[in-house]
Amino acid sequence: MKNELQYDSPGKFQETRFEKIHNLSYYSATEASKLVAKEIAHLIKTSTDQKFILGLATGSSPIDVYKELVWLHQNEGLSFKNVISFNLDEYFLISPKEVQSYHHFMHIHLFDHIDIPKDQINIPRGNLSSEEIREYCKSYEHKIASLGGLDYQLLGIGRTAHIGFNEPGSHRNSVTRLVSLDQVTLSDAAKDFNGIDRVPKKAITMGIATIMNAKRIVILAWGSHKASVVARTIEGSITEVAPATFLQEHPNVTFVLDKEASFDLTRINTPWLVMDCDWTEELTKKAIIWLSKKVNKSILKLTQRDYTENGLSGLINNHVSVYDLNIWMFNQIQKTITGWPGGKPNFSDDNRPERASPSSKRSLIFSPHPVDDLISMGGTIYRLVEQGHQVYIAYQTSGSKGVSDDHALRYIEVYLQIDSNQLHLKELKDEILNKKEGVPDSTSLRSLKASIRRSESLESARLLNLSSENIHFLNLPFYETATSKKNNSTKEDQKIISKLIKEIQPHQIFAAGDLADPHSTQRICWDILSASIKELKSESFLSACWIWLFRGGFNNWDLQNIDMAVPMSPSQINHKTSLIYLHHSQLDQLLFSEDGDIGFWSRTANLNRLIAKEFNFLGMSEYEGIEVFRRFYF
Ligand code: F6R
């Protein structure tokens, strides 16, 4: 039977000539995951051996593959009785009962729902004593080898290009062992552990050699945050600094991607370098910005020679002159810049991103968590309010998962000092102080944590001169689970969003539109909102509503995708930072950067400054900072 995930060797065609790992990219992670699950199911069913040795990964990448395998088991009788599984890794030190352990992950996502015999499941133990580690790792390795090696290994990839927990510096010959985690990996795991300080600093992982010995390897990557590491792994040279590049030497590996994760491959990112292009407006803009950076010149200084020497003859052939093309590009970017995000009343809007009328708009901002609104568009909200628009903010989730126990305890203790007889609070205090491993927060504790975040949001709204009536806490049900795992979104979530949109009938909607991790709260919130917009499409007020997407606290939109850029002065940046700082419950979540540990509030200001510099570099005016938006057409 033809394996649907395999065809053509990498680098076979002109456009794939830089690629050294076979890869397939799909419209969505869900669609791709189904095919991966189908391949695994097929191999299990057709295994001629008595047993099928299956290597498994954790993390958000394989979740949909496991969902599909469970579905195939429950609906099509796929049996796992002949499967012996080996997981890649486990944190160290961690007990298997802890909700963040990979033991827990594997059981809730897969093992609890299929018929694999318990004694055929192998996951590295994360709670060994230091004397046991060496022997244990040796025996894990030996067990895999004695069964004839892995028939199939499923992998994800970390932003450090780790596979398993083989961080940069891992040797090609490495085997199962105890390793230290990279700072980037620790910061990626911080959200699951409620702060970077609580993430275990070590892990037990299969080695590169263990993985490379598998007969078939499938590696998954979803979302724009993986795009650069994917390109580096597929197109870069083999190096210990990016351990996933060792996969280039494996004879039977496929990288399975969604559209966003494939964005940085040469044939997608800079297609003019490998093929003849259809010069759409977006591609033209992208190429000119790329050229400008490459030759280190602002747009209006680019010459015919710059274009031809850098593979862009095809682009200038479509235009009367390089001069005209440069002017067109300059104007395209310049007209995205506006200090009037709700439109400038009584001025022509021919060259402005938003319409002038109505002069007072209803602007509805959807913020996935409390504080996302300020991080992504605090300066813009300030301008909208100041310029007389009716601004509404809808917090899609309660954000309770982002409040640490210690922080909640601080509030409880304050109230208990005022009135020590409050039984309910005493119970909450006991719950926190006596928390057992793996026991999730009670509903009351979650509700206290949600109230903390609500009060922070109300405080920042007050300082923005927004009435509390304009602030909506939607508490979408998909988020309201006792553990860090979220539910699938349902019609109930969509109903809540649609009801609010119908009530407010906005002229503008601002929302988080980052297509990074498909399992992130931001992405789920956007999927729900876009489904509501689709559902309400025929309502007349919606046809007059423009939708603006901000990207989130980690990245700016690429310059060619920006449709509105709202500049900020130094004092506006300071004001925004001080509003973010009011969200005290979030201040213990330090995030790692190249310069050391910085808080997300200063990272946000840095992002605003960075994009302002990029605008300035292309030849636009010099601003202290800029917030950027992309228009969504529906
Ligand atoms: C997990 C593992 C890691 C992850 C990688 C990507 O068992 O070994 O290598 O695959 O960190 O994580 P996600 O999928 O969460 O982006």
Phi, psi (rounded to 5 degrees) for 260: -65, -35
What's the rounded Cα separation, in Å, for the pair 153 and 40? Answer: 10
Taking the centre of ligand 1 as the mean of its atom positions, its distance from the CA of residue 77, in whole angstroms, is 29
State the CATH architecture for 23-266.
Answer: 3-Layer(aba) Sandwich (3.40)
**Beta-bridge partners for 156:** 220
pLDDT 10s digits, 145-196: 999 999 999 999 999 999 999 999 999 999 999 999 999 899 888 878 877 7
pLDDT of residue 520: 86
Residue 483 has pLDDT above 80, yes or no: no
pLDDT 10s digits, 341-396: 999 999 999 999 999 999 999 999 999 999 999 999 999 999 999 999 999 999 99
Residue 3 has pLDDT above 70, yes or no: no
pLDDT of residue 486: 74
Specify the residue with its C-alpha closest to ligand 1, atom 1.
58
Q: Residue 205 CA: which ligand 1 atom is closest?
A: 8
pLDDT 10s digits, 72-114: 999 999 999 999 999 999 999 999 999 899 999 999 999 999 9
Which of 36, 105, 165 to mutate to test ligand 1, by most ligand atoms within 8 A of the CB atom?
A: 165
Specify the residue with its C-alpha closest to ligand 1, atom 3.
164
Q: Is 167 a catalytic residue?
A: yes
Q: Residue 102 CA: which ligand 1 atom is closest?
A: 7
Taking the centre of ligand 1 as the mean of its atom positions, its distance from the CA of residue 144, in whole angstroms, is 21
Cβ proximity of 547 and 509 under 8 Å: yes
pLDDT 10s digits, 564-605: 999 999 999 999 999 999 999 987 654 444 444 556 777 889
Q: At 295, is the secondary structure helix, strand, or coil?
A: helix
Residue 274 has pLDDT above 60, yes or no: yes
Of the candidates 143, 34, 129, the one whose C-alpha atom is nearest the C-alpha of residue 87 is 143
Which of 56, 58, 258 to mutate to test ligand 1, by most ligand atoms within 8 A of the CB atom?
A: 58
Taking the centre of ligand 1 as the mean of its atom positions, its distance from the CA of residue 235, in whole angstroms, is 20
Cβ proximity of 529 and 366 under 8 Å: yes
Which residues, at least 6 apart from 376, have a Cβ–Cβ distance to it below 8 Å? Answer: 512, 550, 551, 552, 553, 627
Ligand 1 site, CB within 6 A = 57-61, 88-89, 156-158, 162-165
Residue 8 has pLDDT above 90, yes or no: no
Q: Residue 155 CA: which ligand 1 atom is closest?
A: 10
pLDDT of residue 13: 77
pLDDT of residue 174: 98
* Same fold across 23-266 and 362-632: yes
Cβ proximity of 562 and 353 under 8 Å: no
Residue 557 has pLDDT above 80, yes or no: yes
Q: At 467, is the secondary structure helix, strand, or coil?
A: coil
The whole model's pTM is what? 0.91
Q: Which two tokens stand for residue 10?
A: 């990498």
Structural domain spans, the chain? 23-266, 278-334, 362-632
State the CATH architecture for 362-632.
Answer: 3-Layer(aba) Sandwich (3.40)
pLDDT of residue 595: 43
pLDDT of residue 598: 59
pLDDT of residue 5: 59
What's the rounded Cα separation, in Å, for the pair 288 and 560? Answer: 9
The identity of residue 165, as a single letter, is F
Calculate mean pLDDT across residues 317-343. 96
Taking the centre of ligand 1 as the mean of its atom positions, its distance from the CA of residue 186, in whole angstroms, is 12
Give the E-state strand segments of 29-151 in sequence order: 52-56, 83-87, 89-92, 121-122
Q: Which two tokens stand for residue 481?
A: 């689970």
Specify the residue with its C-alpha closest to ligand 1, atom 2.
164
The angle subtended at Cα 603 by Cα 600 and Cα 604, nearest 5°, is 90
Specify the residue with its C-alpha closest to ligand 1, atom 8.
164
pLDDT 10s digits, 422-463: 999 999 999 999 987 667 889 999 999 999 999 999 999 999
Q: Residue 59 CA: which ligand 1 atom is closest?
A: 15
Taking the centre of ligand 1 as the mean of its atom positions, its distance from the CA of residue 203, in whole angstroms, is 12
Q: Centre a 10 Å sphere on the Cβ of residue 73 and count the other Cβ atoms it contains.
A: 18
Strand pairing category for 625-632 and 546-550: antiparallel
Which of 162, 188, 484 to mutate to test ligand 1, by most ligand atoms within 8 A of the CB atom?
A: 162
Taking the centre of ligand 1 as the mean of its atom positions, its distance from the CA of residue 124, in whole angstroms, is 15
pLDDT of residue 435: 85
Residue 53 has pLDDT above 70, yes or no: yes
Tell me what percent of the residues of the chain surpass a pLDDT of 90: 85
Of the candidates 527, 507, 511, 510, the one whose C-alpha atom is nearest the C-alpha of residue 519 is 527
Q: Residue 156 CA: which ligand 1 atom is closest?
A: 10
Mean pLDDT, the chain, as a whole number? 93
Q: Centre a 10 Å sphere on the Cβ of residue 544 and count the other Cβ atoms it contains.
A: 13
The three-state (H, E, C) secondary structure of 419-460, written as one string: CCCCHHHHHHHHHHHCCCCCCCCCHHHHHHHHHHHHHHHHHH
Taking the centre of ligand 1 as the mean of its atom positions, its distance from the CA of residue 40, in whole angstroms, is 19
Catalytic option among 68, 90, 98, 167? 167
What's the rounded Cα separation, in Å, for the pair 488 and 476? Answer: 11
Calculate mean pLDDT across residues 333-347. 97
Give the E-state strand segments of 489-545 in sequence order: 508-512
What's the rounded Cα separation, in Å, for the pair 532 and 502? Answer: 10
